[in-house]
A = this chain, B = another copy of it.
Amino acid sequence: MAAPAGWRRLLPSLPILQWGRAYDRDTLTGDLVAALIVTIMLIPQSLAYALLAGLPAEVGLYASVAPLVVYALFGTSRVLAVGPVAVVSLMTAAAIGEHAVAGSPAYWAVAITLAFLSGILLLAMGLLRLGFLANFLSHPVISGFITASGLLIAMSQVKTILGIRAEGHDFLELSAAIVSRLDQAQPLTMAIGAASLAFLFWVRQGLKPLLLRGGLGPRTADVLAKAGPVAAIAVTTLLTWACDWPALGVKIVGTVPQGLPPFTLPQWDPDLWRQLAVPALLISVVGFVESVSVGQTLAARRRQRIEPDQELIALGSSNLAAAFTGGFPVTGGFARSVVNFDAGAQTPAAGVFTAIGLLAASLLLTPALYYLPQATLAATIMVAVLSLVDFGILRRTWTYSKPDFLAVLATLLATLALGVEIGLVVGVGVSLALFLLRTSRPHIAEVGLVPGTEHFRNVNRHAVRVSPQVIGLRVDESLYFANARALEDRVNDAVARMPQLAHVVLQCSAINDIDMSALESLEAINHRLRDAGIRLHLTEVKGPVMDRLRNTALLAELGGEVFLTHYQAICRLAPELSRQTPAAGAR
């Protein structure tokens, strides 16, 4: 049933049919300008993320062409730019690392298979409308995960900038390996890396104000500042070529094949699929969450909106496109989408033009990248990912909510110590467990009558009137299996503590739902109270809850009554409370 509904939505409501009709010269200009700027930005980024994923540099270009075009057809965001992104590239490296040696043809084949599986999963989730599953990744978990991923990526680039070899399965191991080989650091490589880093940080922080003071418009200044990595690459590449630095030990990108993205097929290996299933799912979910948050933020600025389930279909198709054109897992990237938006992209056609630009680059430009130092690419990655690192989330959650703080901390530490996949699973597990724990301990207040009114308040916080024969309890939570016994305990407590007790009155105004376990707990409470000669009453039961209770044994066998208001119940069961308060009686 879900699938046909999905197909119905997919086919006739292709987003392109909406924006395509209104396409005019102005839109075209906006899209072309944006495409040019994004293309310039994406060339180094694509190469860098491919290397981060352990793949040949050109694979980054391949993964940036077809997915962009496919997203333009199916996506609901007008400005989202799809392609390789940092965190997904890191997760890709982690997933493939167990199956093949980085840089080998087998490794690339597994990457293609991973993109294929990720595409299939995203597509299936979209057709089954499972986009809501991403909601179970809480913001603190995402922040902790992204921060830890940023640190992991940055640390992995340090070795390239130092020109040394170092391996490690987790953050500490990798750091230790790097420190222990600091003496092997290659001075010239270090100089190139450090200079690139310094330049890129300056571009990010200092260039834009300078350009603004120089009289440039804020938008032009912004776009120029974004082109910083291209300048760093051009300059270091030229210097490396001119001074023949590779002869001095500087590692370069080397031969990047010229040509169109190849046609590729995923490996049809059920064993491999089974092993890649969990990583593919995690990559899909993380990619989807990142993509949707960027898309939603940008769409809202122009009063547009995106459709999460359609986004799943679009991202799924993009990943399938990546798999069939020699790419690796892709998603909507934050930086590139913001640049696209700021540069004035109006429709997904900008994405198509960007794809054409990158296609041209992979056909014509790759020989120019031969002398590009790897240290420069590492520096561009480091600068990009360090902006993802946000330790402030620890302070903010500590101030605002301790359970959220615990969830961030657990995710952060688990990701650094145990890797991206386990880190993410731990984060989701901890945040769900803490949520369940919170709801399993509902706030149950004993309430008493505020003298002179018909209102009931917590006896611990207000000066209220109570009776030794009657206890009023208010549960501030829907009742379900994990908290039903807490109510039983509370009632048992009252019974054991109040020897004269004859009536237990539950004020149900805050109960939106009572599940089967809670119903049986209430029945058990009712029976036990009856056995002990005490009557159970309910007051202020909400309409929908009452509808479901009507045919149950609870109401049929209830020792007491159901009152419309708690005040009516107390008037009947403990008349002395209201009688002695003339103000209330006078009403």
Contacts and interface: CB of A to CB of B under 8 A. Distances in A.
A140 B300 contact: no
A55 to B, nearest CB: 33
Contact of A496 (B305, B528, B529, B531): B305
Contacts of A476: 512
A128 B320 CA distance: 50
A441 interface: yes
A397 interface: yes
A27 interface: no
Contact of A492 (B296, B397, B495, B516): B296
B512 A481 contact: no
A192 B305 CA distance: 75
A483 interface: yes
A529 B305 CA distance: 12
Q: How many copies does the complex hold?
A: 2
A520 interface: yes
Contacts of A403: 515
Nearest to A396: B516
A129 interface: no
Contact of A136 (B137, B396, B481, B521): B481
Given A484-B135, A515-B403, A495 B300 contact: yes
Contacts of A484: 135, 139
Nearest to A476: B512
A503 B257 CA distance: 56
A483 B139 contact: no
A495 B531 CA distance: 57
B441 A436 contact: no
A218 to B, nearest CB: 17
B481 A138 contact: yes
B552 A441 contact: no
Nearest to A512: B476
A223 B441 CA distance: 41
A493 B435 contact: no
B296 A551 contact: no
A138 B301 contact: no
Interface footprint category on A: 35 or more
A138 B396 contact: no
B516 A138 contact: yes
Contact of A436 (B136, B304, B516): B136
Given A301-B528, A301-B532, A496-B305, A432 B436 contact: yes
A524 B293 CA distance: 10
A15 to B, nearest CB: 14
A297 B528 contact: yes
Contacts of A136: 436, 440, 481-482
A303 B504 CA distance: 14
Nearest to A434: B515
Contact of A135 (B296, B486, B551): B486
Contact of A493 (B305, B432, B496): B305
Nearest to A439: B439
A512 B474 CA distance: 14
Interface string A301-343: 1111100100000000000000000000000000000000000
A435 B479 CA distance: 11
Contact of A400 (B135, B400, B485, B519): B519
B404 A528 contact: no
A132 B441 contact: yes
A347 to B, nearest CB: 17
Interface in A63-105: none
Contacts of A512: 443, 476-477, 510
B519 A300 contact: no
B303 A496 contact: yes
A491 to B, nearest CB: 9
Interface in A448-495: 476-477, 480-486, 488-489, 492-493, 495
Given A139-B484, A139-B521, A435-B436, 20 more contacts: A132-B441, A137-B481, A138-B482, A139-B516, A296-B488, A296-B528, A299-B492, A300-B492, A300-B495, A301-B531, A301-B532, A303-B532, A396-B516, A401-B515, A401-B516, A404-B515, A431-B481, A432-B436, A435-B482, A510-B512
26 contacts: A132-B486, A135-B481, A135-B484, A135-B485, A138-B482, A138-B515, A296-B492, A297-B524, A297-B528, A299-B492, A300-B492, A300-B532, A301-B532, A302-B532, A303-B496, A304-B496, A305-B492, A308-B489, A397-B516, A400-B552, A401-B548, A404-B517, A431-B481, A435-B482, A438-B513, A476-B512
4 nearest interchain CB pairs? A300-B528, A138-B481, A404-B516, A139-B517
Interface of A: 132, 134-141, 296-297, 299-305, 308, 396-397, 399-401, 403-404, 431-432, 435-436, 438-441, 443, 476-477, 480-486, 488-489, 492-493, 495-496, 510, 512-513, 515-517, 519-521, 524, 528-529, 531-532, 548, 551-552
